[in-house]
Structure 1
Amino acid sequence: MAYTHLSKFDEDRLLYDLPISIYKKLVNKLNENFNYRKLQAQIKKTLPLVTTKFNNHMGAENIFDELRTKMCSVGTLGILLKECKLDSVWLILYRPEPIIIVKHPSDDMVCNTLQLAIGEKLHLSCKAVGTLLSYQWYHNNIKLRGQKKRKLDITINSCEDAGEYNCKISQVIEGEDEDEEALNSVLRTESVFVTIPYIPVCMQQQPPILLEIEENEDLIIKCKARSHPKPCYQWFKDNTMLEGKTSNVLHIKQSNFNVGGQYYCHISNSMSEVITKKTLVLVHSPREKAIAKIALIIANDEYENLQCLMKPRYDAMRIHNRLKKIDFKVICFLNLSLEQMRNAIKIFSEVLTKGVYGLFYYCGHGFKMQESHMLAVDTPESFLRKDSICESELLAMLQQKDPTLLVTILDMCQTVPQRECNPDIYNEIPEILETNINYKSRKNLRNLVQAYSTSSYCPSYERESSQSGLYAMHLSNYITQNIPIIKVFEEVGKSIDKVLKGTERNQIPMYSTNTTKHFRLTDAIQSERNPSPMLNNLNELMAFSKKSFEIRLSEIDITAKITVSLMNSYLNVLKVSVHYSGDLKLSFFTSATIKSNNLSCNEHGKCYIFNPQICQGPLIISISKNGITYLHKLHIQQYIPPILKRLQN
């Protein structure tokens, strides 16, 4: 088929006679995403005599040289491009074909109205001819997400799905020059109207039977019903109508003791009416307050002798960000040795005094023998219990100064080590630390919450399809909610149980608590005139501010900006970024390489230094241009948070 009326050039014009600018555009467009391979296949199919010299490694330039040698014309190339559906290349030689709708959604129907019941499928289709077409279906002039094909297949799920459906067919052609605006053509198909038969009121969500709220907290009660026509709502308290409360959500701001009582909703339409279950609202006395809320997060995934994990660093970042939202001061570390883990816990324990809420979150490898054990990144392949930190050691350190609330979360496996891999651990006589004896002998240990991603002797799973681990993903959904701490872990367990399938059902989150008050992680922090010296000391230890400075490399006439920051708030991971313009070659190295230093670089001028406090010597930034190399020394010890020095001692 010829497209003479659309061609920008004479179709009999030979390819070698095209302007060089057009030639370059054709070559560049065909080289994109290896488009030339489609053209090559079409030439072999249509013009076999032209393909005598073709091979699988030819690029667009070689194919064009062969076509020009064979005296191919613009019209021949246009047909080849159209047949292999390379419209973006075809448009370099031709003007776009106008949109013509050849099938409207109502063409197969007796009339343009359909009556569908809730749960039935709506199938519509349309078709247009033209160049570079895109489809977008609309419902009542609102875009339907994800419906960008010729066919619309959806389920009628509610009465709101009634109404007008049509499709917008668009053609967007980029201008030939950068300054030329894109050509945009749009047509709408004829509409199809969907109606839904009348449905009596049917409850979908009842309000809770009991709702406990705090003083000065908003009262929110929800219910939901389905019907057609749409249901009307009217809320009542103790059989008295509440003026203006006519939505499915009852919202009364800033509650006080006067809002206590029984609430229900009257729901009706022209066909029927129902009354919801009654909700008893109880208002609690004033909330607990903390003098500080502090968390320690340790994520281990790059193990030296054990299988590496995929998710802990992402889980830790997720929990870190949620805790920051509810005003926790968060100490976050990645990939610590056993000594570093103990030092981190010791630093954390020093600020867990009376009035402080403390939260400890660990994600990494672990096991269960009598009690839970956490494994550091330098754990040997055949490990013993003494190579780990057990839960009693952890609690002994964290409860020395009697924090008002302590929450420990172990996001790890609770399985028993395999005897064939770790035979010595079964003959080991565990070392009993004096601190553990003191901890276990103490009485009246209260306000302790212990949570586990899985139950005793069971695994904890990671999913490759998800960026976060299963437990952390669900925990992050509830940890910031304004509910009692016990309720947080109760809801996490319910939420996980709903999604587990197959072997994953072996993962059953557990928690235990002996709290005597209604603590919440969202409790407010009361201001103190004289903050604790230990809290001030912690602030000084964690002190870090991003630093940026410029360096001028006169030898190669380049100015570069160097920025030193933390990677995703991990206190022991520095990110060094070099910002520059022009064609430079960058590399990073240290004068003394240490295995555990973990210097990681990428091709975009960024370098990550894990545990920079143990890096010997400066970081060397090598910048090369035109054969000239400039070395800049960055003394990273000047930039690390002070806490890292204590982490190493």
Structure 2
Amino acid sequence: MAATPERSVKLNPLNEEWKKLCDVLDRSPGNGWRRLGEIVAQDRRFRLSADNLEMCSLKVLQPDGSPSRMLLMMLAERGCTCGQLMDFLRALANAEALHCLQALALQIITQPQSVSLLCGHNLHLSCQAVGHSPVQYQWFKSKEEVPNGSTADLAINGVHVKDGGFYICRVNCGESFQFSQWAQVDVLDVSVSSGYARQSSDDNLEVALQPRPQRLLAGAALQLECGAAGCPIPHYQWHCDGVPLPGATRRKLTIPNATQDHQGKYRCGIISGGERTWTSEVEVLIAPSAPVQISGPMECSEDDLYAIGGGSTDFLLNSVPEQLHAADKVALLIGNLSYQNHPQLKAPMVDVYDLTNVLRQLDFKVVSLLDLTELEMRNAVHEFLLLLHKGVYGLLYYAGHGYENYGNSFMVPVDAPNPYRSADCLCVQSILKLMQEKETGLNVFLLDMCRKRNVHDESTHNVILRVTANIVFGYATCQDAEAFELSSSDFTNGVFVKFLKKRLLDDEKITVVLDRVAEDMGQFDATRGKQALEIRSSLSERRALTDPVLPGAADLPHSQQWAKAHELPESMYVDFECGAQIKLGFAAEFSNVLVVYTHIVRKPAELSTCQAHVTDFPQELDVDPKAMNRSTPEDTGVYLLSSHLPHHCLYTRLCSLQKLKDDLVFTACLRGASAAMDADDSVSWTENVNIGKPLIARLDLHQATRQNSCLLTCPMPHSPTAHYKHPDQDRSHQHHRLDVSVGGRTVAEGVAAYGSSIPIEASDDVDELHTAFIESLQLQRS
């Protein structure tokens, strides 16, 4: 029988919904799984042998073993579709099994997408499904069936506000049916007088409704509205004075009884797909509901209050908060040690690891990276800048080679030539300029590098920084001096972090903390008179790294991007044809260093010995072939995380995940031997494993430099717009940190993922709507 689109649904026997079909085939004595296997074996396309059927039969020896599921898994691996399996079941004459498969074969392959559009535009929703026979469609808006909504595509020309709401599609296929996901349709009326309308002429995300300023009396309802057209439907987050408002994630912001505490400047952040934009910022003034006295017994009427206000809030009594807050806390830690053309370093790995653990205790969202090239460093900084907005605490720590010329500091990537110039490095002041544009609450730079002058770099830079009161620099050493890491055969901290990590948890202003670190370093005999901490600050408030984060910051859309760099693959089980099963586990030593460990969970009784290992990793990853599949973490180079990994496993360390271009695919191998075999004989089985893009690989730092890279902050020779090329000169200059040594190491913490997938605007409403909708339908199987 020829294959059709309806018959092309793939088998998925691992899905729990297939259990009923497997149960039917397992308990059917005359026309069950074995007879089905014999029928399939007659079709040469699926290469099913007697040994394969015997392997299926061995599943009955396991407590939860299912010969049918094993058989269906074999067919799935050989490309069998639901339509082909139906033909085999018809030949088997097992009506109950055929009925189970017919219910499973229906799949919705295209779900309707939520959308926001302007009045008068055309709405198009699509729901595509495949099944064992032709499918029919039935569209609903809330509880009501949509007239003429009986095709896969629902189209409404010239929508009105009344067409907004929630839509769902029922897909029918014979006796089976499924419901699509809910799609929210938001229709914006740009003719209303509550905002300023702007209609987009292209597909870019653009604000269509702007909020308007408000002047209210205390106790009145504060109402602000905005809106943007886009697909997928935009997500909203209101801010007041740069601080995100918990729970304010709808187009309309309503505060029933506004008080003077609600006064301030409001704007809304809007995200659709990968685009982000902001509404205009509007001021909300709230006057007391009763007359107030302003320097004397004078009373003011309501009209007088508005006149006094006149766009200023000086007439209101504002209390000074006792506790400063951060809108969010994010940190980027970079440690460069494996230089291609310069002396290798050791301490940056330990320093980054220890600071990561301390900063996470302070509720920082930390991405920690080792050994980045120039391109990777620029892209990492770009992703870091995406998280910064008004009120956020941003911290950037760098450990590695560096230098300082004419007051500008430069961080040296691991691929920098010898000698290097500014075109090969990242300018700290350029990054700071971009951070200032974000209006952050606190900018902290901790630079653990040399500040000697680079005689090979004669370029002068003109990075003009704005006067702000939120900058703190902590230099590990003074100007024109070197930073030290101490000689040791063990993995130890550099001098700066040795003392810094002991003070960061102090609940003090950040400059006070750094002053204490400077005092501690001054008492250290090994570097006294050679290295002294230098602090530069324009901080006018008592900002501390211990300041609490406002509730709801971790759930904001801007946090989702950084969350990608923390996503570990889930542990998984790999089954082999011989009946053996191994477990694959994963741990993150850094955001670009993944540890894979394997353990045999089940060994078939007929095998006297059984060993498992992993191999065939992508070439772009840094994996030492001699250190793979080792019996201890230390043997594979995992020193810092070793005490937190499970025992009795084989370990492999994968570095440079930022270079991974595609999904991480590798091979799990199993080698075994039975007692009947000769001593040197064995049998091998392999399975391919795909774990997607783990940790920092999801951010694609290997791609071309982002548009807002620090390259573009000043027109200097290292700007790509100047088409700068390195001169063909003898590069003999070498700049490096000195060696000296100390110990110290903190306990590791697991990598935590921040945020979750963003729901549509009214997710609570959808849950209630779905329950009411299903209860309103009297669905019966025909």
* TM-score normalized with structure 2 length: 0.42
The structure showing larger relative contact order (alpha-carbon pairs under 8 Å, at least 6 residues apart) is 2
Bigger strand fraction: 1
